[in-house]
A and B are shown apart, each in its own frame.
Chain A
Amino acid sequence: RKEVEQDPGPFNVPEGATVAFNCTYSNSASQSFFWYRQDCRKEPKLLMSVYSSGNEDGRFTAQLNRASQYISLLIRDSKLSDSATYLCVVNPGGSYIPTFGRGTSLIVHP
């Protein structure tokens, strides 16, 4: 089993739609979790950290489920500019070497 798994998609949604991605991780001792956004042929950039209590940043909501070992990202009212690849990142316990999933591609169309 891969350390961090994501559905590569693509998720093809209309503007205004709500879309959710999940990411599963294998190391139950993992300490910290993040979502990064990567635009085509660009470098990844931090979108948001994922806290145990869940957190929200505008249209974006991240959740952590430790029991089932997954994190999620919910995007409400999708915009064309949300089209990108969303990378799930997990920091294993006792290490500070983030492990990336392969990313989920989102395409928002008019």
Chain B
Amino acid sequence: ETGVTQSPTHLIKTRGQQVTLRCSSQSGHNTVSWYQQALGQGPQFIFQYYREEENGRGNFPPRFSGLQFPNYSSELNVNALELDDSALYLCASSSYRGDTGELFFGEGSRLTVL
């Protein structure tokens, strides 16, 4: 167990709806990264939060937004859902500039958009 928890684990939405995914980071970690993983693909970086500030963003449109709370937990929000947003959304917790560079992943939130 990594100590990283995500909710919900599965959800179904329809096109145009909005979704919020949540992540609790591992104790002692101040950085949370979000990844989207489509079937058969590697995880694609969405954005990273370090101490409540966005620290980097991948090639995702503005309808993907997020935030990090003082306790370092995080949310990913997606507006105006599209069919292609169907994927596994992974949250990864880490210690920024940690020596090992290891990411600790939650089990993911599997989103289906109909």
Taking the closest CB of chain B, its distance from the CB of A67, in whole angstroms, is 22
- Our pick among B42, B43, B96, B105 for the contact of A45 (Cβ within 8 Å) is B105
Choose the segment among B13-21, B33-41, B66-74, B76-84 that binds chain A (4+ C-beta atoms closer than 8 Å).
B33-41
B101 touches A100 (CB 8 A): no
A98 touches B103 (CB 8 A): yes
Interface centre among A8, A43, A49 (most CB of B within 10 A): A43
Interface centre among B31, B43, B103 (most CB of A within 10 A): B43
> Which residues of chain B come closer than 8 Å to A95, judged between CB atoms?
56
Known A4-B42, A89-B103; 17 more pairs at CB < 8 Å: A36-B103, A43-B90, A43-B105, A44-B43, A45-B105, A46-B102, A49-B101, A91-B101, A95-B56, A96-B48, A96-B97, A97-B56, A98-B33, A98-B101, A100-B35, A100-B45, A103-B42
Query: Could you tell me which B residues sit within 8 Å of A by CB distance?
Result: 2, 31, 33, 35, 40-45, 48, 55-56, 90, 94, 96-97, 100-103, 105-108
B45 touches A99 (CB 8 A): yes
Taking the closest CB of chain B, its distance from the CB of A77, in whole angstroms, is 26
Query: Could you tell me which A residues sit within 8 Å of B by CB distance?
Result: 4, 6, 8, 32, 34, 36, 42-46, 49, 87, 89, 91, 95-103
- Our pick among A42, A96, A102, A103 for the contact of B101 (Cβ within 8 Å) is A96
Q: Which residue of B lies closest to A31 (CB)?
A: B101
Q: A42-B107, A43-B90 are known contacts. Are A34 and B101 too (CB-CB below 8 A)? A: yes
Majority DSSP secondary structure for residues of A touching B: strand
A49 touches B100 (CB 8 A): yes
Assembled-state Cα–Cα distance A97/B94 (Å): 10
Q: Which residue of A lies closest to B39 (CB)?
A: A41
Q: A32-B101, A91-B101, A95-B56 are known contacts. Are A100 and B106 too (CB-CB below 8 A)? A: no
Q: Which residue of A lies closest to B94 (CB)?
A: A96
